[in-house]
Amino acid sequence: MRKFIIANWKLNPPDLRSAKKLASSVLAKTKNKIVVICPPAIFLSSIKFDILGAQDCFWKEEGAYTGQVSPKQLKSLKVEYCIVGHSERRATGDSDSNINAKIKALLEVKITPVLCVGFGTSASQSDSEVIKVLKKQIKSCTYGTDVSKIIVAYEPVWAISSGNPYATKKIATPEHSEKISAFIKTAHNIQKVLYGGSINAGNAKSFLSQKNIDGLLVGGASLNPAEFNKIIATSL
């Protein structure tokens, strides 16, 4: 089965010219991977790439919601995936119930939600403590939805490479992530689980070779085309 490599560009790069250049440097077609790039929403209409994703969305279709972007608008730009519940959004107030509404709105227009979980976990927690946090997040965020259409990304907040106050410069082990992914699949009936947090060309293979890890959500390393292409080209 093909594994996913999803690039989360976050608030990068600074202008459209660099965004187009970055997108055109990424290997879009590979035999054994599905490659998705998630640029800032403002660049989505101008970037050419086989499979596009968004970094977040709102749950209403239209109306007086200043600054928001709807799943329907994303769909009109041929967006196929949308990250929701990223820890950097949760840190600024995104709640499980908002995320649940976003997932429902995305499924309505047939965009695949990539639900990030792992905010509120810490490096010192035992597997069962981590599972307790994730259980609550997944249950509330997917309430009333068809879970077979949702991808979950396990992103322990402390393992994210930079830019958040919880970053520890540590990375989760592939064994821990495999165990958590297997739990998410069995307990919540989720079919695809990705890992995200400090992935680079050197460690990608150790995660991708795990049976229950169906791909990677890559932040910092996705901004460096040579590094990101190596991740895409990882042999399995």
In sequence order, what E strands does the chain have?
Answer: 3-8, 33-38, 52-54, 79-84, 112-117, 151-154, 192-196, 215-218
Does 215 interact with ligand PGA (rule: CB under 6 A)? no
| Residue (of 96, 95, 103, 92) closest to 11 by Cα position | 92
Place of tokens 């490479």: 161
Binding pattern to ligand PGA, positions 141-180, x when CB under 6 A? --------------x----xx-------------------
Residues 9-48 that bind ligand PGA (CB under 6 A): none
Residue of this chain nearest to ligand PGA (CB atom): 219
Place of tokens 């297997």: 182
> Which class for 148: exposed (0-12), middle (13-18), buried (19 or more C-beta within 10 A)?
exposed
Does 197 interact with ligand PGA (rule: CB under 6 A)? yes
Q: Which residue among 108, 129, 155, 178 is the active-site one?
A: 155
- Is-catalytic flag, 178? no
Chosen residue from 105, 218, 231, 232 binding ligand PGA by CB under 6 A: 218
Does 199 interact with ligand PGA (rule: CB under 6 A)? yes
| Cα 179 to Cα 23: distance, rounded to the nearest angstrom | 33
Q: Which residues are catalytic?
A: 86, 155
| Contact residues: ligand PGA, CB under 6 A | 8, 155, 160-161, 196-199, 217-221
